[in-house]
Structure 1
Amino acid sequence: MNSERYVRGLAKLKEIDGQAGENVINSLSDIAPDFARLLIEFPFGDIYSRPGLDLKTRELAVVAALTALGNAAPQLKVHIQGARNVGCSEQEIVEVIIQMAVYAGFPAALNGLFAAKEVFAQHPTPPSH
Structure 2
Amino acid sequence: MNTVTPNAKANLQKLFGSTNLPKEDLEFFTNYANFAFDEVLAHSNLEEKQRLLLILAALTAIPAKEEFETMLKAALNAKVEPVAIKEVIYQATPYVGMAKVADILSLTNKVFRQRGIKLPLANQGTTTRENRYEKGLQAQVEIFGEGMRSARDKAPKDKKHISEFLSSNCFGDYYTRRGLDLQFRELLTFVYLISMGGAEPQVKAHVQGNLNMGNDRAKLIAVVTALIPYIGYPRSLNALGAIDEVAGNRS
What TM-score do you get using the length of structure 1 for normalisation? 0.82
Q: Does 1:12 align with 2:105?
A: no
Deviations 1:18-69 (A, max 9, x none): 2575676566434311111111101211100011111221111111111111
- Structure number with greater Rg is 2
* Matches for 1:87-126 after TM superposition, within 5 Å: 87-121=214-248
Q: Which amino acid aligns with 1:40?
A: S
1:67–1:100 contact (8 Å) kept in structure 2:
no
**Counterpart in 2 of 1:31?**
158
| Separation in 2, partners of 1:6, 1:56 | 20
Q: Does 1:60 align with 2:212?
A: no
CA change 1:23–1:65 in 2 (3 A) is farther
| Separation in 2, partners of 1:38, 1:53 | 22
> 1:98, CA displacement in angstroms?
2.2
| Separation in 2, partners of 1:26, 1:73 | 25
CA change 1:43–1:91 in 2 (3 A) is same
The list of structure 1 runs, each at least 4 consecutive aligned residues, that deviate by more than 6 angstroms after superposition, is: none
CA change 1:105–1:21 in 2 (3 A) is farther
Q: Which amino acid aligns with 1:41?
A: S
Deviations 1:1-21 (A, max 9, x none): xx4111111111010112575
| Separation in 1, partners of 2:191, 2:175 | 16
CA change 1:97–1:30 in 2 (3 A) is farther
Q: Does 1:76 align with 2:211?
A: no
Corresponding residue pairs, total? 120
| Separation in 1, partners of 2:134, 2:186 | 20
